[in-house]
């Protein structure tokens, strides 16, 4: 049977124009406390990116065919099985993986890293920097885990990793690296760090959750062994992620989850069950697969791959505008690991003297229609260390993160709103509920699907 699944691409009015992919919700309006409706300024892409129009179209195209994946005799099942298999090939191309690399579908980056942690050979030494996102920081446990305090200079990370690996005991070794910080947006010197790991016989897993939506990631060019990523960061918000990399450790490990799909055969031996497991990747994908999420992820990857130059140019322009605007606001401190000259993606975290981060985010939302993030961004060690280093008087920051749904007007609105807040304070009264700042009186209408039925 020959089935061709076409990946839709972003549409533009003229082929000579920019091919930046478009997103669902680009024309969304939200209510303000003063009664006005404004276009939503989504500056929270680093948490979850909006859905690409191309992804929505592809999901709509697939849904009539939706059926079970694998072992289904029905034609619709065969279609979905083909879709699922094509998605593996797309993800392999997206990260430049080797032909022998496994592509294991998961829920997200956190799921992928926990899966790999469960698959490590006994006695594996794990080395990582302490400013990692919790997804990359917490799965590794035991006496052979070594956390390096991140230096304040990118070049110094190379020497720090070399020193740490020199003290590792004999046995398998794994280095955990972040491609781009979700706190500062700074891109790490991955290729250089991977060279250090190779000299010490260590494998490398790259957390590409924050880099993959912004620029190409290439396993072979970077010389890393594993890449993990999340669909919801990649404009495919349907609950799929992937672990891509060398299959030997994954093949030797017990299944991450046990159940249907991971089993080749189960036999009743009376006092126990005899089980033989399938090979990678199905070995670690027990249960009914998320075919819609996987297809959405693949379409997002394919769409971005066709537009990298325009995606990068769009982001560079907005990031420069944002950083220049923030630099002129009194008392605003931008958080940086390595300094202003470091390569970075469109993520900027900051504090404002005398303004609580949570209150700042609440005001930006309720009075200006701007969505940002406040807190420590599931990277508590990194965020709090950088706040202390910058001389901030609080332990939480505000993060503005750019993406395909961001515009120059959004950036200018954020800068103007922050200037107004610094100069005049909030225009309305706010209170704390369960630790979060909210307007004391909020009569903004919810969308119809959330309103109570009378």
Known catalytic residues?
Answer: 378
**What angle do helix axes 291-305 and 75-94 make, rounded to 10 degrees?**
40
Please state the φ and ψ torsions of residue 373, each to the nearest 5 degrees: -120, 145
**Under 8 Å between Cβ of 384 and 26:** no
Residue 341 CA to residue 385 CA, distance in Å, equals 20
CA 5 vs CA 2, 177, 281, 304, 402: distances in Å: 10, 35, 22, 17, 31
End-to-end CA distance of the chain: 52
CA 434 vs CA 123, 364, 430, 437, 450: distances in Å: 43, 19, 13, 9, 21
**Under 8 Å between Cβ of 298 and 270:** no
And the tokens for 243?
A: 């672990």
**Under 8 Å between Cβ of 325 and 366:** no
């Amino acid at each position: 049977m020959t089935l061709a699944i076409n990946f839709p691409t972003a549409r533009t009015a003229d082929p000579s124009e920019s091919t930046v992919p478009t997103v669902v919700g680009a024309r969304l309006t939200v209510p303000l406390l003063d009664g006005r409706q404004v276009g939503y300024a989504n500056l929270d892409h680093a948490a979850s990116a909006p859905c690409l129009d191309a992804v929505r179209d592809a999901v709509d195209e697939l849904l009539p065919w939706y059926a079970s994946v694998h072992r289904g005799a029905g034609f619709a099942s065969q279609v979905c099985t083909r879709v699922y298999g094509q998605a593996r090939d797309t993800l392999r191309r997206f990260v430049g993986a080797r032909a022998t690399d496994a592509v294991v579908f998961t829920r997200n980056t956190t799921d992928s890293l926990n899966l790999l942690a469960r698959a490590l050979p006994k006695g594996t030494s794990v080395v990582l920097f302490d400013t990692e996102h919790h997804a990359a920081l917490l799965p590794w446990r035991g006496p052979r885990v070594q956390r390096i305090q991140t230096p304040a200079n990118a070049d110094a990370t190379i020497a720090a990793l070399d020193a740490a690996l020199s003290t590792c005991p004999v046995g398998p070794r794994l280095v955990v690296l972040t491609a781009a910080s979700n706190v500062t947006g700074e891109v790490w010197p991955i290729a250089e760090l991977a060279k250090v790991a190779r000299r010490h016989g260590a494998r490398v897993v790259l957390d590409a959750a924050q880099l993959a939506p912004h620029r190409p990631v290439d396993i072979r060019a970077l010389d890393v062994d594993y890449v993990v990523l999340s669909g919801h960061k990649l404009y495919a918000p349907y609950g799929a992620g992937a672990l891509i990399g060398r299959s030997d450790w994954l093949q030797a490990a017990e299944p991450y989850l046990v159940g249907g799909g991971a089993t080749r055969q189960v036999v009743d031996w009376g006092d126990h069950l005899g089980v033989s497991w399938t090979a990678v990747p199905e070995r670690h994908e027990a249960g009914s697969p998320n075919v819609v999420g996987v297809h959405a992820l693949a379409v997002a990857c394919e769409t971005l791959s066709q537009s990298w130059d325009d995606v990068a140019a769009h982001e560079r322009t907005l990031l420069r505008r944002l950083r220049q605007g923030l630099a002129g606001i009194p008392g605003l401190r931008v958080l940086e690991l390595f300094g202003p000259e470091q390569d970075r993606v469109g993520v900027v975290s900051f504090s404002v003297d005398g303004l609580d981060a949570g209150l700042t985010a609440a005001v930006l939302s309720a009075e200006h229609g701007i969505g940002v993030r406040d807190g420590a961004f599931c990277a508590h060690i990194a965020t709090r260390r950088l706040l202390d280093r910058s001389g901030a008087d609080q332990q939480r920051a505000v993060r503005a993160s750019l993406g395909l749904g961001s515009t120059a007007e959004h950036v200018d609105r954020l800068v103007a709103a922050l200037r107004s807040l610094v100069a005049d304070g909030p225009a309305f009264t706010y209170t704390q509920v369960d630790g979060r700042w909210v307007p004391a009186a909020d009569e903004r209408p919810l969308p119809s699907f959330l309103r109570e039925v009378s």
